[in-house]
Amino acid sequence: MDELAIEISGLRKTYRASRHGAAKEALKGIDLDIPKGAIFGLLGPNGAGKSTLINILAGLVLKSAGKVTIWGFDQDVNPRQSRAAIGVVPQELNLDAFLTPRMSLDLQAGLYGVPKAARRTDDILAAIGLSDKADAYARSLSGGMRRRLLLGKAMVHSPQVLVLDEPTAGVDIELRRMLWAHIHELNAQGVTIILTTHYLEEAEAMCDQIAIINHGQIVAQDSTKNLVQTIDAKTLVVTPRAPVAGISDLPEGVSFEQRADGALALTYSKSRVKVQDVLDALSAAGVEICDVASEEPHLEDVFMALTSSTKDEGVVST
């Protein structure tokens, strides 16, 4: 328990039936452990339950059942301490247009009970690159600046856990790099980061561990490396010296695709087919090879395999 930033067990959330629809079970018994000091990815398609889970962690939505412990504080026993241990950067740019960044940070710090003498407003403004906009109204800030300000607001009470909900959605490459550099600095200082994103290549590069949620259930949780290795497929990309119309007599389990640039993509099972068998089949078909490269599976392949095939009644574990 001392090594866990967040411990969730049996977490359920059912939204009551509305006049026009039946009750909806958004979370169906979530069990999830997030270690201290991790950069942890929480991934899933739209409607999978990510937002509900984050809102429960933030104390904005009441759970129907289960237990949530944040930094050692049980939400039901120590609600104020558990909320103080977490900061959430929402996806929506929900800022008061008539407050300046300095006013926003001071107000947020006051809501968390941070004494004026202990506030780090100027330090945070410098960290998020808004010192020169400290006294400009939020309505005059660009979208990227507003997103940085949301990050600053989540940091005012020095939380041990920081949740980033789609932090780089709609921002340019330069701002994305700046945000991630700062997130790495926070993580190096001991802050546990929880990331949700639809940029799966970003999650693969950033996260130590990943959980994938679908239909209100955790369908996979492991280190990023182990999750990617669960995909048995590999692709051999061959550039032929002359155009190839097609290839027959490929080994069983090998699929063939000709790409727009003329390259031949042959995908096969690493556990059942040897690369030499694929090359021998190309040689037998009279294909002269100019260049050859291999493509390993990515997190996107894992994500699609799990979220495309997982149904309400089934859970795939790794």
Distance in angstroms (rounded) separating the CA atoms of residues 198 and 46 = 9
Distance in angstroms (rounded) separating the CA atoms of residues 303 and 306 = 5
- For 49, residues 6+ apart whose C-beta sits below 8 A from its C-beta are 13, 26, 27, 30, 213, 215, 216, 217
Q: How confident is the model at residue 143 (pLDDT cuts 50, 70, 90)?
A: confident
Q: Residue 292: name the closest of 234, 233, 245 by CA.
A: 234
When comparing pLDDT for 244 and 72, which is higher?
72
CB atoms within 10 A of CB 156: 22
Say yes or no to pLDDT of 246 above 80.
Answer: no
Secondary structure element (H or E) that encloses residue 200, with its range: helix 200-206
Cα atoms found within 13 Å of the Cα of residue 161, Cβ hemisphere only: 26
Share of the chain above pLDDT 90, in %: 63
Q: How confident is the model at residue 311 (pLDDT cuts 50, 70, 90)?
A: very low
The whole-number pLDDT of residue 82 equals: 95
Q: Residue 124: name the closest of 172, 165, 83, 159 by CA.
A: 159
Say yes or no to pLDDT of 314 above 60.
Answer: no
Whole-number average pLDDT of the chain: 89
Q: What are phi and psi for residue 136, nearest 5 degrees? A: -95, 145
- For 126, residues 6+ apart whose C-beta sits below 8 A from its C-beta are none
The whole-number pLDDT of residue 309 equals: 55
- Averaged pLDDT for residues 86-115: 92
Length of the chain: 318
Query: Which stretch of 19-23, 38-42, 84-88, 269-273 has the lowest confidence by average pLDDT?
Result: 19-23
CATH number for the region 232-296 comes to 3.30.70.1560
CB atoms within 10 A of CB 201: 11
The CATH class that applies to domain 4-219 reads alpha beta
Say yes or no to pLDDT of 161 above 90.
Answer: yes
* Sign, Cα dihedral of 139, 143, 149, 153: positive
When comparing pLDDT for 316 and 17, which is higher?
17
Distance in angstroms (rounded) separating the CA atoms of residues 283 and 289 = 9
Q: What is the pLDDT of residues 181-229, one digit of tens each?
A: 888 999 999 999 999 988 898 899 999 999 999 999 999 999 999 999 8
Q: Where are the beta strands (DSSP E) in 150-261?
A: 161-165, 192-196, 209-214, 217-223, 233-240, 255-258
- For 234, residues 6+ apart whose C-beta sits below 8 A from its C-beta are 267, 268, 269, 270, 275, 294, 295, 296, 297
CB atoms within 10 A of CB 297: 19
Q: Do domains 4-219 and 232-296 have the same CATH topology?
A: no
Q: How confident is the model at residue 1 (pLDDT cuts 50, 70, 90)?
A: very low
Q: Global pTM?
A: 0.81
Contact yes or no for 133/141 (Cβ under 8 A): yes
The whole-number pLDDT of residue 166 equals: 87
Residue type, 170: G
Q: How confident is the model at residue 2 (pLDDT cuts 50, 70, 90)?
A: low
Say yes or no to pLDDT of 315 above 80.
Answer: no
Say yes or no to pLDDT of 318 above 50.
Answer: no
Distance in angstroms (rounded) separating the CA atoms of residues 58 and 84 = 9
Q: How do 161-165 and 192-196 pair as beta strands?
A: parallel
Q: What is the pLDDT of residues 253-263, one digit of tens each?
A: 899 898 989 89
- Averaged pLDDT for residues 42-64: 94
Q: Which residue has the tokens 């991790």?
A: 38
Distance in angstroms (rounded) separating the CA atoms of residues 166 and 176 = 11
The whole-number pLDDT of residue 313 equals: 39
User: How far from 82 is each of 6, 75, 77, CA to CA, in Å?
Assistant: 10, 6, 9
The ranges assigned to domains in the chain are 4-219, 232-296
